[in-house]
């Protein structure tokens, strides 16, 4: 048995390979001691670690675990997933949307960090709580689907009011910029606010990602990360905004486990 673990700031992502089959599971990072106790029951397993809490997790287990740099592990995991999907990309940008977002350029052999943003799952949860007092991530993502962003976000089409626009009318001119225009005529529900949160996070991540893609002269952008889990609206915002800006988005099933799979692959290759 081989176990790859990406011990992040919010979630611990675990990939288990046994008899050539991969399975996945995750636990909150606050439960790292429970993960360590589980690993202790598997003394014969080969363990590979990555992520910000990897060194701490190593201190809790008896295994002499392989450790890798998080960015390299994520890149290797993405490559592994792309190979399984028969997707061949010579060069691309990938955005790992976890608690925050890290953006990288990959040329098929190596990765280079191109930047990042504090917009990500942490912002979704924090801003959603401040606006609605909701704390459950699944409830936030589900209710956001019913919200109306156009009440809250100012779009280019709102400014031009039917006139021809110099840029696509569905582009956001100002996130939350329509609130004052509608404050006397409309009620902003919790669902509307949550939809707007997904909008500002998704558009921020996408804008920075495609700027990186333009700089590195590629049209391909791969999106992964735990923020997309059960989050159809965030995925839709990112997908639509990437296409609207003229780039090609890719979402990888189980992509949030790229770090866990990648550190395991790097262990195999070491």
**Domains with residue ranges and CATH for the chain:** 2-85+257-269 (3.30.420.40), 116-147+189-251 (3.30.420.40)
Give yes or no: 33 in active site. Answer: no
What's the average model confidence in pLDDT over 209-217? 97
For 141-169, write each residue's pLDDT tens digit.
999 999 999 999 999 998 998 788 888 88
Mean pLDDT of 225-247: 95
**Neighbouring C-alpha atoms within 13 Å toward the C-beta of 43:** 1
CA distances from 216 to 74, 84, 114, 252 (A): 19, 25, 9, 21
Question: In terms of Cα–Cα distance, which of 119, 98, 102, 127 is closest to 197?
Answer: 127
Average of per-residue pLDDT values in the chain: 95
Which of 17, 44, 70, 236 is labelled catalytic?
Answer: 70
Of 75, 115, 73, 86, residue with least CA distance to 210: 115
Specify the pLDDT at position 66.
98
Question: What is the model's pTM?
Answer: 0.92
Q: What is the largest CA-CA distance in the chain?
A: 68
In the chain, % of residues over pLDDT 70: 100
Greater model confidence, 171 or 63 = 63
pLDDT of residue 221: 98
pLDDT digits (tens, 9 = 90+) for 4-14: 999 998 899 99
Between 20 and 263, the higher pLDDT residue: 263
The DSSP H or E segment spanning 96 is: strand 92-97
CB half-sphere exposure, 233, CA atoms < 13 A: 25
Q: In what order do the strands lie in the sheet with 101-106?
A: 111-117, 101-106, 92-97, 220-224, 248-251
Residue 125: strand, helix, or coil: helix
pLDDT at 167: 86
Average pLDDT of span 84-103: 95
pLDDT score of 42: 97
């Amino acid at each position: 048995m081989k176990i790859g673990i990406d011990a992040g700031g919010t979630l611990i992502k675990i990939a288990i390979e046994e008899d050539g089959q991969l399975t996945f599971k995750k636990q909150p990072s606050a439960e790292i001691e429970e993960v360590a106790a589980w690993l202790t029951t598997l003394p014969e397993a080969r363990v590979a670690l990555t992520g910000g809490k990897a060194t701490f997790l190593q201190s809790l287990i008896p295994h002499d675990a392989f450790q890798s740099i998080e960015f390299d592990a994520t890149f290797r995991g993405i490559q592994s997933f792309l190979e399984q999907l028969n997707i061949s990309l010579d060069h691309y940008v990938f955005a790992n949307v976890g608690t925050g977002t890290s953006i990288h350029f990959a040329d098929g052999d190596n990765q280079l960090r191109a930047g990042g943003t504090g917009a990500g799952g942490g912002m979704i949860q924090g801003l959603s709580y401040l606006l609605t007092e909701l704390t459950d991530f699944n409830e936030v993502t589900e209710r956001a689907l019913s919200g109306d962003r156009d009440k809250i976000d100012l779009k280019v089409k709102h400014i031009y009011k039917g006139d021809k626009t110099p840029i696509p009318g569905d582009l956001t001119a100002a996130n939350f910029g329509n609130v004052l225009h509608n404050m006397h005529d409309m009620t902003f529900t919790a669902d509307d606010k949550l939809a707007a949160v997904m909008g500002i996070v998704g558009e921020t991540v996408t804008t920075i990602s495609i700027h990186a893609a333009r700089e590195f002269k590629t049209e391909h952008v791969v999106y992964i990360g735990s923020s997309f889990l059960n989050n159809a609206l965030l995925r839709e915002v990112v997908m639509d905004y990437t296409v609207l800006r003229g780039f090609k988005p890719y979402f990888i099933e189980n992509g949030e486990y790229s770090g866990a799979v990648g550190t395991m692959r790097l262990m195999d290759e070491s």
